[in-house]
A and B are shown apart, each in its own frame.
Chain A
Amino acid sequence: MILQAVADTLPLYRDFPIIGSRGAVWIAAELHLMFAAFVLGVPMFAVVAEAIGIFGKDQRYDRLAKEFTRLLLIAYSATAIWGAVLTFLLATLYPRFWAYLTQIFGASMWVYVSIFFFESFTLYLYYYGWDRWKVGRSKIVHWSLGILLNIWGTLVMFIADSWLTYMMTPPRDITPETATTSIKIWHAIMNHTWMPINIHRLIGNVVFGGAIVGAYASYRFLASTSDEERAHYDWMGYVGNFIAIAALIVLPFAGYWLGREIYQYDQSMGITMMGGFMSWLWVIQAFLIAVLFLAGNYYLWIGMGRIPGAERFRPYTKWLLAVLVIGAIVWGTPHTMIADSRELTAMGGSHHPFLGVLGVMSAKNTAVNLMILATFLSFLMYRRANTRPVVPWAKTGTQIQGAMFAIAAAIVLFYGIRGYFVEAIVRIGYSVYQVGAVLACIVFVTVIDVLLARGAESRGTIQWGKMPPRSQYALFILAVTFTWLMGLMGFARSGIRQHWHVWQVIPDTSPYAATPALGYAAIMISVCVLIFLALVGFIFWLGGLAEKSTFVEAKHVGH
């Protein structure tokens, strides 16, 4: 009652100078999210790298994990600062709505800060205890701290996700008339999109963390003054790129689940996102993901220049490139084309009579699945480049791998073409078969490859550090593109609430209620990306200042 009375006396909104309340909250939320993605993603592979170091008895991975964690330490403060900025802005600019959220989620906010407290001190112990607990049982205890850090981080994210997913998909029995005191907190947390967002973000954070680490490595590589340093950061860049692209391959499945839940919750929200006002964002997304595929593969192909034995795979890369370019063209072809009146008349509408067939999902699913297969083949060639298998069934094994690629590509093409001749509800199911074929190919080919590599002879040592600078710009492009994509699709997710704070429960009656035009949104997203990258650049510089000599001898480094 008291809380309600206090809430009712609060002003509905206050304004923020120049950029307005929405702009201020937008920037703070986006930057908090970007830093948070980094500090949640990096511990996941830092702990894996440390495990490889412990159980594989390979010190290089331990050093790598420590270097990841050092970046984490600085980025962690930035995350907390932007989180505080966001909280203060929400409390001061949207006081009534903030009071509403605190009335429902107050208890989870207390839990949140407690876990944040534990997370901070676990991180400090993890980083500062690195050199103290580095042998025997104490090393395992140290590694357990890394696991604990991930658990705290994941819990923190899950709690924060419940607040924002509640705004998007509040349980159906909650109406504008529902008293906040009658809403059970667990009921509000367990809303339609909570778990899909949790999973999508978990994987997305790994992708993002890998990309930012790759960019850090490329920055350090370009600034290196010795061969050892170059070799170390070349290897680190490779690992970052590998993590980012490998996790990226599974990200669309989590996204598909999230999209499906949004449709299930409210069809009109789903259509606004995919087919209506927000649909242009998906065309831009297609471009950006094509950039990711092209840049990721480009980096691998240039990297083959430093691997003895890779020259035998050179003739094939141009065909993979052809698949990627044609895939990018198909994927980026809009269903509704931007055309002037003369072109519209010639086409008989905004659908092109011939290219229109490339604008539907049958074509796009086919293109993206073939692009994933091509990228996986690039990885495989890179992996195999400097080894000569010695197992007696090596030739048969390779032929089976080739057949698996051919079968997967045939299945993808078959269902892609057949999709044009069946009704929509059947066509949707085909994407599952396409994805299934690609995933099965990836899993089985990898298993065969691991078995093939047992005891394999080396064709020569990888010359880490022998990379032209342009390869490092590919890593930068990856990081920038991932950051931009995150801002872009985050806007799509948040923007589909339109003029509601909480979808169909609490309307937004502020002057900023209207869904922003795409141009304005693009500027805001780009500003956020620029601020984030500028701050990350500063953090990279600090990372360089903090410790200069974590790199190891290049000649021992494998992949």
Chain B
Amino acid sequence: MRHHPFWQSVALLLIAYVLIVFGIPMLPGSALVPKSVVLQYMLTVLVGILIWVSDDEARWTRFKEPLHAVLVESRLKTIRNGLLGALTLMVGCFTYSQVRASVAAPPNLRSIHPAPPSQLTFRGKTISLTGLENPLRAQGDMATHLATGRRVYYQNCMACHGDYLDGQGHYATGFNPIPLNFQDNGTIAQLTESFVFWRIAKGGPGLPREGTPWNSAMPAWESFLTEDEIWAVVLYLYDATRWHPRTWGETEGGGHD
């Protein structure tokens, strides 16, 4: 039985499930795996197992033996009936879980990376974003800029984005989705400074029309901060997280990483 492909397949499926649902969350710094991803991973594993059992004629024939036996052999009548009952019950439970009323907000697709405009208007001044570098890097004293950025951050941003810039500010749990975690390598580390400037200046109200409705409580900071203050806080974000902003490279648009 140990080397029977059917039972090996069942064992592989179970091991995969345990690894994905219980193993991954136990890793240091990890968290539970969303159901959508569990489903995706298990489907992939199932397809892989079905390929393995059926790419060889002898293995395929052996794999089908227990299935065939349980469906037709009279000595397995009790198991057959039991399986029929269990399967029906499972389908019933699944259907119930899908249709019962729930107070939780449904999962939603969210475009995390809105497309920036090629230019924006900042308090009446037109700024072209394409190829734009942080002007403060080429002027004044960096320590002063960082001090300004730090002050602006703690006065305006910290309550949501957190003391550690990890999106765990005092108000963070009040938002869904929670504020952006700048320490994550998938946020500002992937972006040019001009993109970050645009997001701070225009906030949630300035998100592009496509992909609406957006879930963003971020204010449009152009109403409260000057252009230099926003550039300073951009400098501070990169300095504090030790990420490097994306550079424009040889082409004006760069590529998608």
Majority secondary structure, A binding face = helix
| Interfacial chain A residues near B107, Cβ < 8 Å | 338-340, 343
> How distant is the Cα of A274 from the Cα of B44 in the complex, in angstroms?
24
Majority secondary structure, B binding face = loop
A residues contacting B by CB (< 8 A) are 259-260, 263-272, 274-277, 279-280, 290, 294, 297-298, 301-302, 305, 314, 317-318, 321-322, 324-325, 328-329, 332-357, 359-362, 420, 423-425, 427-428, 468, 470, 498, 515, 518
| Interfacial chain A residues near B176, Cβ < 8 Å | 341, 344
> How distant is the Cα of A154 from the Cα of B255 in the complex, in angstroms?
29
Known interface pairs A321-B52, A333-B37, A468-B57. Does A267 touch B252 (Cβ–Cβ under 8 Å)? Answer: yes
Task: Say if the beta carbon of B88 comes within 8 Å of chain A.
Answer: no
Q: Measured between C-beta atoms, what is the minimum distance from A318 to chain B in Å? A: 6
Known interface pairs A342-B104, A515-B210. Does A276 touch B31 (Cβ–Cβ under 8 Å)? Answer: no
| Interfacial chain A residues near B220, Cβ < 8 Å | none
Q: Please, what's the 1-or-0 string for B27-53, where 1 marks a CB less than 8 Å from any CB in chain A? A: 101111111110011001101100110
Task: Say if the beta carbon of B66 comes within 8 Å of chain A.
Answer: no
Give the residue of B181, B185, B251 whose beta carbon is less than 8 angstroms from that of A349.
B181
Known interface pairs A267-B252, A329-B41, A345-B173. Does A353 touch B29 (Cβ–Cβ under 8 Å)? Answer: yes
B106 and A340 contact, CB distance less than 8 A: yes
A352 and B254 contact, CB distance less than 8 A: no
- In B45-78, the 8 Å CB interface with A consists of 45, 47-48, 51-52, 54-57, 60
**What is the number of contacts between chain A and chain B, taking CB atoms within 8 Å?**
216
| Interfacial chain B residues near A270, Cβ < 8 Å | 115, 253, 256
A343 and B254 contact, CB distance less than 8 A: no
Report the interface size for chain B: residues with CB under 8 A from the other chain. Answer: 70
> How distant is the Cα of A9 from the Cα of B23 in the complex, in angstroms?
68
A360 and B186 contact, CB distance less than 8 A: yes
B210 and A351 contact, CB distance less than 8 A: no
Give the residue of B29, B47, B190, B251 whose beta carbon is less than 8 angstroms from that of A294.
B47
> How distant is the Cα of A259 from the Cα of B112 in the complex, in angstroms?
19
Task: Say if the beta carbon of B113 comes within 8 Å of chain A.
Answer: yes
Q: List the 3 shortest-distance A-B pairs measured between CB atoms, nearest first.
A: A275-B113, A263-B253, A325-B48
| Stretch of B90-98, B150-158, B227-235, B242-250 on the interface side | B242-250
> How distant is the Cα of A339 from the Cα of B180 in the complex, in angstroms?
16
Q: Please, what's the 1-or-0 string for B119-142, where 1 marks a CB less than 8 Å from any CB in chain A? A: 000000000001000000000000
A354 and B37 contact, CB distance less than 8 A: no
Q: Measured between C-beta atoms, what is the minimum distance from B115 to chain A in Å? A: 4
Task: Say if the beta carbon of B223 comes within 8 Å of chain A.
Answer: no
| Interfacial chain A residues near B41, Cβ < 8 Å | 329
B117 and A268 contact, CB distance less than 8 A: yes
> How distant is the Cα of A32 from the Cα of B177 in the complex, in angstroms?
43
| Interfacial chain B residues near A425, Cβ < 8 Å | 246-249, 254
Q: Measured between C-beta atoms, what is the minimum distance from A48 to chain B in Å? A: 29
Residue from B30, B51, B114 with most neighbouring chain A CB atoms (10 Å): B51
Q: Measured between C-beta atoms, what is the minimum distance from B178 to chain A in Å? A: 6
Can you name 4 extra interface pairs (CB under 8 A) apart from A350-B177, A352-B31, A361-B257? A276-B210, A321-B51, A349-B167, A352-B30
Q: Measured between C-beta atoms, what is the minimum distance from B37 to chain A in Å? A: 6
| 25 A-B pairs with C-beta separation under 8 A | A259-B255, A260-B255, A263-B251, A263-B256, A270-B115, A270-B256, A272-B115, A274-B256, A276-B111, A280-B111, A301-B51, A302-B54, A314-B56, A332-B44, A335-B112, A347-B32, A348-B181, A349-B177, A351-B181, A354-B29, A360-B185, A361-B257, A425-B247, A425-B254, A468-B57
